[in-house]
């Protein structure tokens, strides 16, 4: 079962032993919460970010910053308002760099073994957004990126709630390792349980990947499964209502991180969050047996990447 592990004031010098323990806690499906974010943002930048959505009606979704290209995805804001776009770029670049710098020490066992993925600004109120089922973030799901297969790398996300007064309200469920056996129909006799799940895993894996048309999209069997699992959870009304889950309040000014590929999560309300995603190499795991890749490979009985 997951826990929220609160890290009161982040230690000035974190030892390697601490860092190892934090990696363990994350890999076991816990959320690490910093009630006071270790990432500094100026009052002016915060005010700018909070004002952005009001002044730009075209901002109808999250904004992604691509650190490796040092640019913000989508040209709408840039063409509408080049000055605002430049300032936003500056702020997101700063957030991304500060977060990476912080994590380099805080999670030292992972350092140099991650790929820096996108950062994002989430300006919209999450409550009452009207989105198609598979895009809804208020339904429990594990993350998988349709356009960025990870080939077994883990999706680690670091969030910061920059709303001045309001908590971001999440719900989280038990992690992949204990969840996946329950996705087998309850009627399946125990000794056969693995067999039927194995068949389900295999049939999902059998689908033809898009990768033939676009090599960057080439998905491993692992990626195929994780994408499908994201949808399966959102489609499962019984799991959404009756599955084991708990409410987690993420206070204004806090940061938190979690492996969102294995911890089912949903955001019910809140607006104004910043986020940085890292793809951590499977070899960097301190408890490799907890990873979705290891769990699936042991069920499938063969390599999936
Ligand atoms: C998500 O990853 O599902 C959204 C989380 C959030 O924006 O708080
Ligand atoms: Fe998600």
Q: Would residue 203 count as lying in a domain?
A: yes
Q: Dump pLDDT digits (tens) for 160-175.
A: 999 999 999 999 999 9
Q: Would residue 305 count as lying in a domain?
A: no
Query: By residue range, what is the domain housing residue 114?
Result: 4-300
Q: What is the pLDDT of residue 198?
A: 60
Task: Judge whether 155 and 249 are in contact, CB under 8 Å.
Answer: no
Give the number of domains in the chain. 1
> Which three-class secondary structure state does DSSP give residue 280?
strand
Residue keyed to tokens 């949903």: 266
Q: What is the pLDDT of residue 61?
A: 79
61, 125, 126, best to mutate for ligand 1 pocket (most atoms within 8 Å of CB) = 126
Listed in sequence order, the DSSP H helices in 61-180 are: 76-80, 82-106, 176-179
Q: Would residue 95 count as lying in a domain?
A: yes
What number is the average pLDDT over the span 85-99? 96
Q: Would residue 242 count as lying in a domain?
A: yes
State the virtual CA torsion across 95, 56, 133, 170 in degrees, nearest 10: 40
Measured from the Cα of 265, ligand 1's closest atom is 3
Q: Would residue 136 count as lying in a domain?
A: yes
Which residue's C-alpha comes closest to atom 3 of ligand 1? 137
* Average pLDDT of every residue of the chain: 88
Q: Dump pLDDT digits (tens) for 175-203.
A: 998 898 887 543 333 333 445 666 665 55
Confidence of residue 58 (pLDDT cuts 50, 70, 90): low
- What spacing in Å lies between the alpha carbon of 193 and ligand 1's midpoint? 32
CATH number at residue 86: 2.60.120
267, 270, 271, 278, best to mutate for ligand 1 pocket (most atoms within 8 Å of CB) = 267
- What spacing in Å lies between the alpha carbon of 196 and ligand 2's midpoint? 27
């Amino acid at each position: 079962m997951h826990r929220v592990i609160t890290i009161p004031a982040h230690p000035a010098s974190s030892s390697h032993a601490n860092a190892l323990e934090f990696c363990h806690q994350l890999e076991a499906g816990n959320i690490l919460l910093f009630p006071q974010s270790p990432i500094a943002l100026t009052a002016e930048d915060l005010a700018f970010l909070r004002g952005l959505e009001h002044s730009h009606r075209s901002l109808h979704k999250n904004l992604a910053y691509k650190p490796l290209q040092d640019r913000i995805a989508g040209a709408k804001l840039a063409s509408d308002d080049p000055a605002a776009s430049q300032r936003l770029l500056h702020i997101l670049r700063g957030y991304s760099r500060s977060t990476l710098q912080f994590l380099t020490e805080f999670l030292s066992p992972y350092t140099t073994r991650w790929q820096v993925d996108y950062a994002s600004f989430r300006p919209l109120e999450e409550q009452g957004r009207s989105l198609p089922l598979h895009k809804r973030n208020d339904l429990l799901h594990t993350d998988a990126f349709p356009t960025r297969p990870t080939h077994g790398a883990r999706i680690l996300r670091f969030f910061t709630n920059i709303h001045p007064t309001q908590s971001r309200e999440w719900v989280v469920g038990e992690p992949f390792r204990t969840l996946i056996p329950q996705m087998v129909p309850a009627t399946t006799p125990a000794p056969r349980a693995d067999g039927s799940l194995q068949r389900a895993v295999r049939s999902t894996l059998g689908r033809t990947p898009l990768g033939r048309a676009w090599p960057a999209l080439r998905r491993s069997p692992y990626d195929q499964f994780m994408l499908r699992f994201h949808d399966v959870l959102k489609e499962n009304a019984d799991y959404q209502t009756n599955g084991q889950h708990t409410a987690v309040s993420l206070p204004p000014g806090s940061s938190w991180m979690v492996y969102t590929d294995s911890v089912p999560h949903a955001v019910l309300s809140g607006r104004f969050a910043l986020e940085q995603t890292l793809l951590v190499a499977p070899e960097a795991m301190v408890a490799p047996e907890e990873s979705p890749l290891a769990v699936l490979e042991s069920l499938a009985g063969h390599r999936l990447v």
